Structure 1
Amino acid sequence: MTEIDSTAAGKPPELQGLLNRTLYHPLAHRLARALVPTPVTPNMVSIAGAVIVMAAGVLYALVGTPLAIAAGLALHMSWHVVDGADGALARMSGRASPSGEIVDGLCDYAGHGVLYILLAARLDDSIGGAAWALAVGAGVSRAVQSVFAESQRRTYQWWAYGVPWLQNARSDGKGIGVALSNLYLWAWRKMSGPTQRVNALVASAEADPAERRRIAQIAKQAGRSTLPVVAIIGANPRTILLGLSMIAGSPLWFFLIELIVFNVVLVIAIMQAAASGRRIARLIAQDRQ
């Protein structure tokens, strides 16, 4: 195994926050190892993750007692374990594929879509129809923010460690999965700007191991400044913030954070990524001259 692909079986340390490193990822790998000898498939695990998120929504919105809210937070946090286990199981069992990525993404969006509907229904009791506008705005914001954050992390893994992802796979064909994956990639490309230039430089160096190692080092250096900002709009902070918002008595605070605070962070992250992409492309091109 080469230096570049040494993390193909998991995420590198710089992509793992405290909860991922100490709780979610260790438990996800244990769960995946336990499932390897069973008939359970990665797609089944992805579907189970969606059901867990929906169940958390029921506890938050339809039950709403202090005990139910605590259980909802614990259940929502357990989703992160299951969400990591489907990919780990796919790698351990040799069943990793672009179609699996699509199913995983669809399940994540479906589960959280139901969660937001349930939260909006609860908020409707206190502020009326405005709750639905807030929920739709927050949901769309989450989708856009998540596309950017996850794509930036996956792009970083490709640049720095040679781990391919959805954009490296062919997406020809028909069907809802292909259409949604193409929409996902289209949205990311619209936000990624100069990143696309670096993608071309990385792809052109795939047949040159020495050049790929050099690019990987440049990418790792750049990631030290960009990855922490991207992490803010990832899934982990949202889960905790939603739990705190429900403890405070309403999902309103969570929706407002997604609509205002996280969109400000998204703009900053896009600008930072663009500057970083231009700098990386310049460094690669300079050393090739």
Structure 2
Amino acid sequence: MPLALARRISANTVSVAGLVLGGAAALAYTHWGNPALALVGLALSIGWLIADGLDGMVARATKTASPLGRMLDGLCDHGVFALIYISLALTIDTPEAWILAVAAGAAHAVQSNMYEGERSRFHRRIRGVALDAPPVPTGNALVRFYDGVAGSIDRIAMPFERTLGQASDPVALGQSYAARAVAPLRFMALLTANVRVWAIFVACFAGNPRIFWWFEIVPLTLVAIVGLVWHRRVERAFVRNTAPPRSKTASRMHLS
């Protein structure tokens, strides 16, 4: 990062550089039958992962984070995997391969978006910061759509947000929440790009890209579902345990 800052390289430029590295990885994986080129694809993918992490660091360090930058980062992320899926499907070029590639790509987009939303939600809450209302996406249509999908769980999670906002000590409640919620978040870390990069390499090195597509469609989808349900159960437990007790008068009125 110091080199990028010294040369005044923008976060968006880093994102695009990552996309170029990812595109080169996709090209290398078109020769997945060659173990040496599969290794080249892995090396280029790791370079893309570095760029993918660096762009956010540069944006925060230079205070240039923006909705457009978030969208560009997300598009570069999903775009690299889309290029890899397409390149692998082209090398097999059967209806079954294209169906698997499209299904895996759709599953990946939903899983990644949900995980990023869960992760940002977790880090905000541990600081004791609650949402007053689900965020309203702004910007152009594409930015609004991306932010809307990423924040869709916010609407479901509002009972906990209200509990956190009404707590006498939101920071203390946020820290208690973090101790319980860290387990599902760590479990959902299986949805990160790092895991997928290694899964693609293993499948290609084994000589069957279909292994990766099925890994994306079935096991990773189950990870997303289990993680989301687990996290919501943690939230509901806190909402129940911190709800104010009902008075005896209120109870008698309800019974009558």
Cα distance, 1:57–1:34 mapped onto 2, change above 3 Å: same
Question: Taking structure 1 as reference, are residues 121 and 200 closer, same or farther at Cα in structure 2, changes over 3 Å only?
Answer: farther
CA distance in 2, matches of 1:284, 1:227: 22
Distance 1:162 1:236, change over 3 A: farther
Alignment RMSD (CA, Å): 2.6
Structure 1, unpaired ranges of 5+ = 1-31
Q: By how many angstroms is 1:233 displaced?
A: 2.1
Aligned counterpart, 1:93: 62
Over 3 Å counting, the alpha-carbon distance change for 1:43 and 1:163 in structure 2 is farther
State the Cα distance separating 1:110 from its structure 2 match.
1.8
Equivalence for 2:52: 83
**How many correspondences in the alignment?**
245
Provide, for residues 95-149 of structure 1, a one-character-per-residue CA deviation record: whole Å limited to 9, x for no partner.
123332122112212222111111111232xxx2100000011111111111122
Structure 1 runs of 4+ aligned residues shifted over 4 Å read: 162-165, 167-170
**Take 2:98 and 2:244, find their aligned partners in 1: how far apart are those partners?**
51
Contact 1:189 1:196 (C-alpha < 8 Å) held by counterparts: yes
The share of aligned pairs that are identical, in percent, is 27
For the 8 Å contact 1:50–1:112, the answer to whether it is kept is no
**Any stretches of 5+ residues in structure 2 without a counterpart?**
248-256
TM-score of the two chains, using structure 1 as the length reference? 0.76
Is the CA contact (8 Å cut-off) linking 1:117 and 1:135 kept in structure 2? Answer: yes
In structure 2, do the counterparts of structure 1 residues 58 and 163 end up closer, same or farther at CA, with 3 Å as the change threshold? farther
Amino acid corresponding to residue 43 of structure 1 in structure 2? N
Question: What is the SS of the residue equivalent to 1:161?
Answer: coil
SS in 2 for 1:145: helix
The equivalent residue for 1:136 is: 102
Q: Deviations over 1:2-48 (max 9, x none)?
A: xxxxxxxxxxxxxxxxxxxxxxxxxxxxxx22111223110111111
Partner of 1:215: 173
For 1:286 and 1:226, the matched residues in 2 are separated by: 27
For residue 196 of structure 1, what is the amino acid of its counterpart?
M
Q: 2:191 matched to 1:225?
A: no
The separation in 2 between residues aligned to 1:103 and 1:168, in whole angstroms, is 23
Partners of 1:201 and 1:99 in 2: CA distance: 32
1:168-210 deviation line (CA, Å, top 9, x unaligned): 8653343422333223333x457xx3x23223344x35xx8x7
Structure 1 residues 62 and 279 mapped into 2: Cα distance closer, same or farther (>3 Å)? same
Query: In the alignment, is the contact (CA less than 8 A) between 1:157 and 1:163 conserved in 2?
Result: no
CA contact (8 A) 2:130 2:161 kept: no
1:177 maps to which of 116, 120, 143: 143
> Separation in 2 of the partners of 1:35 and 1:133?
40
Rg larger in structure = 2
CA distance in 2, matches of 1:164, 1:107: 30
**Equivalent in 243, 253, 263 of residue 221 of structure 2:** 263
For residue 35 of structure 1, what is the aligned residue in structure 2? 4
Change (3 A) 1:101 1:174: closer
Please give the TM-score of this superposition, normalised by the length of structure 2.
0.85
- Supply the distance in 2 between the matched residues of 1:64 and 1:272 (Cα, whole angstroms): 40
